[in-house]
């Protein structure tokens, strides 16, 4: 028997999980039928086939009526509902779905919720745990989504089409260029040039605009990722000051992408090895100025601020962030 119940306040989430279940069942959308009530599930069409039924509940009353029908349904009736497959979904408040969740579980079906009872994982992290992304990539997307986990559903779906090896190779840079931004919003990575060039005034100005629409943790993740790159380049230059940007790029990515790499990954590799790779050149210029010791100090500053922002300790997060930006810009300028 194939039976699933999906409940969440977000229509985008329930639609996403509906498509995921259909994929698991190896069923195309063309092989489904939307029904208005439980009694229609499992009934053969005019062509003699019984498609997967999709039952959407728009009210508490519909859910209650379905619960009552399932309670008194015969084994044969339940088998008929679930033989081809039945997906029930709703966006009504969770308190109205508890009885149906229990029935579905008792019948051996799957109950899908964005937030599991007793789980510490956020809805966004629950979605991302299905993927083989790196820890940094998952943390970045979780911070970006915050409570709006619907904002990353499209990206999660795209990443889910990659194989595990390809997923593990996805970097924060890959993710940044694919995330949607609200109209008029300043993307959080726009703060990088001012920081790397040591322009304190510009860095604070851009940060305040970025902070209107982006999580502070996303800004911290981007800066941490960038200065990890600066540290790696500074370490390479310390061993050989004559290294060019192209040589550094090849050392940081010593092997070409695998044959099954995505088009985007291949393009990123090709771009990394060109003389026009502006982000790498900017990071390299910074690495030459700050060296290994200052790069280490900057990474420590970011980590300390991140802990304070996450824990809520140390006062106003905006003040902490701006204090950190002043210190980083000062170190990067020297």
Q: What percent of the chain has pLDDT over 90?
A: 15
CB 10 within 8 A of CB 149: yes
pLDDT at 248 exceeding the cut of 80 = no
Span 199-226, average pLDDT: 87
> Which candidate, 267, 273, 279, places its Cα nearest to that of 244?
273
Span 188-207, average pLDDT: 85
56 forms beta bridges with: 89
CA distance 128 to 156: 7
Predicted local confidence at residue 4, as pLDDT: 93
CB 38 within 8 A of CB 59: no
Predicted local confidence at residue 182, as pLDDT: 62
Sheet containing strand 52-57, edge to edge, reads 32-35, 52-57, 86-90, 3-7, 110-113
pLDDT at 128 exceeding the cut of 60 = yes
179 three-state secondary structure: coil
Taking the CA of residue 134 as centre, how many other CA atoms within 13 Å lie in the half-sphere pointing to its CB? 13
pLDDT band at residue 177 under the 50/70/90 scheme: low
CA distance 275 to 273: 7
> Which candidate, 12, 16, 58, 8, places its Cα nearest to that of 37?
58
Q: What are φ and ψ of residue 118, in 5° steps?
A: 80, -5
Span 279-298, average pLDDT: 86
Span 99-114, average pLDDT: 89
CB 6 within 8 A of CB 112: yes
The pTM assigned to this predicted structure is 0.55
CA distance 313 to 140: 21
299 forms beta bridges with: none
| Range among 38-42, 72-76, 183-187, 203-207 with highest mean pLDDT value | 203-207
Predicted local confidence at residue 184, as pLDDT: 65
Lowest mean pLDDT among 36-50, 184-198, 315-329: 36-50
pLDDT at 148 exceeding the cut of 80 = no
CA distances to 10, 23, 44, 156, 217 from 130, rounded to whole Å, are: 19, 14, 34, 9, 22
Q: What is the DSSP letter of 25?
A: T
pLDDT at 120 exceeding the cut of 70 = no
Predicted local confidence at residue 118, as pLDDT: 58
pLDDT at 119 exceeding the cut of 70 = no
pLDDT band at residue 142 under the 50/70/90 scheme: confident
Displacement of CA 102 from its chain's centroid (Å)? 30
pLDDT at 111 exceeding the cut of 80 = yes
Instruction: State the alpha helices, DSSP H only, in the chain.
Output: 11-24, 60-72, 75-82, 98-106, 123-128, 135-145, 153-160, 164-168, 172-176, 192-197, 200-210, 216-239, 245-252, 263-272, 278-311, 317-333
Predicted local confidence at residue 173, as pLDDT: 75
Predicted local confidence at residue 48, as pLDDT: 61
Predicted local confidence at residue 77, as pLDDT: 78
Span 82-107, average pLDDT: 87
> Which candidate, 177, 197, 199, 196, places its Cα nearest to that of 188?
177
Predicted local confidence at residue 260, as pLDDT: 64
pLDDT at 271 exceeding the cut of 60 = no
pLDDT at 124 exceeding the cut of 70 = yes
- What is the pLDDT of the chain when averaged over all its residues? 82
Span 196-201, average pLDDT: 83
pLDDT band at residue 159 under the 50/70/90 scheme: confident
Predicted local confidence at residue 263, as pLDDT: 61
Lowest mean pLDDT among 42-56, 156-170, 243-257, 275-289: 243-257
pLDDT band at residue 278 under the 50/70/90 scheme: low
Span 185-195, average pLDDT: 81
Span 317-324, average pLDDT: 90
- DSSP string for residues in 112-130: EESS-TT--S-HHHHHHTT
């Amino acid at each position: 028997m194939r039976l699933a119940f999906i409940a969440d306040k977000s229509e985008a989430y329930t639609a996403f999980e509906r498509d995921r279940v259909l994929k698991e069942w190896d069923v195309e959308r063309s092989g489904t039928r939307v029904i208005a009530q439980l009694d229609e599930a499992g009934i053969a069409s005019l062509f003699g086939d019984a498609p997967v039924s999709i039952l959407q509940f728009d009210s508490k009353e519909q859910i209650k009526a379905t619960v009552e029908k399932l309670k008194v349904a015969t084994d044969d009736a339940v088998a008929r509902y679930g033989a081809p497959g039945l997906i029930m979904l709703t966006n009504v408040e969770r308190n109205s779905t508890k009885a149906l969740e229990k029935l579905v579980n008792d019948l051996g079906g799957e109950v899908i919720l964005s937030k599991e009872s007793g789980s510490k994982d956020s809805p966004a992290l629950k979605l991302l745990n299905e993927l083989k992304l790196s820890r940094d990539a998952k943390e970045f997307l979780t911070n970006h989504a915050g409570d709006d986990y619907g904002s990353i559903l499209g990206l999660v779906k795209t990443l889910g089409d990659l194989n595990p090896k390809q997923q593990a190779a996805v970097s924060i840079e890959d993710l940044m260029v694919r995330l949607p931004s609200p109209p008029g919003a300043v993307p959080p990575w726009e703060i990088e040039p001012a920081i790397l060039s040591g322009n304190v005034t510009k860095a604070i100005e851009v940060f305040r605009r970025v902070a209107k629409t982006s999580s502070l943790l996303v800004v911290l993740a981007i800066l941490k990722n960038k200065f990890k790159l600066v540290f790696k380049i500074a370490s390479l230059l310390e061993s050989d000051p004559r290294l060019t940007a192209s040589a550094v790029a090849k050392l940081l990515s010593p092997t070409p992408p695998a044959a099954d790499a995505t088009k985007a990954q291949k393009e990123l590799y090709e771009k990394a090895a060109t003389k026009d790779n502006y982000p790498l050149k900017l990071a390299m210029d910074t690495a030459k100025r700050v060296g290994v010791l200052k790069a280490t100090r900057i990474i420590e500053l970011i980590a300390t601020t991140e802990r304070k922002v996450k824990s809520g300790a140390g006062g106003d997060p905006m003040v902490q962030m701006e204090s950190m930006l002043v210190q980083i810009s000062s170190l990067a300028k020297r």
